[in-house]
Amino acid sequence: MPVPDLSAPAAAPGPAPGGPARPSALDPAIAARLRRTPDGLVAAVVRAHDSGDVLMVAWMDDEALHRTLTTGRATYWSRSRGEYWVKGETSGHHQYVRSVALDCDGDAVLVSVEQVGAACHTGNRTCFSDELPVSGKTSAEPTA
DSSP per-residue letters across 27-59: -HHHHHH----TTS-EEEEEEETTT--EEEEEE
Report pLDDT for 8: 39
Report pLDDT for 143: 63
Report pLDDT for 18: 47
Strands 54-60 and 42-48: antiparallel
Chunked into runs of 10 residues, the chain (144 residues) has average pLDDT values of: 40 43 84 94 97 97 97 95 92 95 96 95 92 86 67
Report pLDDT for 102: 97
pTM: 0.79
Category of 92 on φ-ψ map: left (φ > 0), alpha (ψ -120 to 50) or beta: left
Task: Measure the CA–CA gap between 36 and 27, rounded to whole angstroms.
Answer: 16
Task: Measure the CA–CA gap between 90 and 51, rounded to whole angstroms.
Answer: 25
Asked if 45 and 17 touch (Cβ cutoff 8 Å), the reply is no
Report pLDDT for 31: 95
End-to-end C-alpha distance for the chain, whole angstroms: 36
Report pLDDT for 140: 76
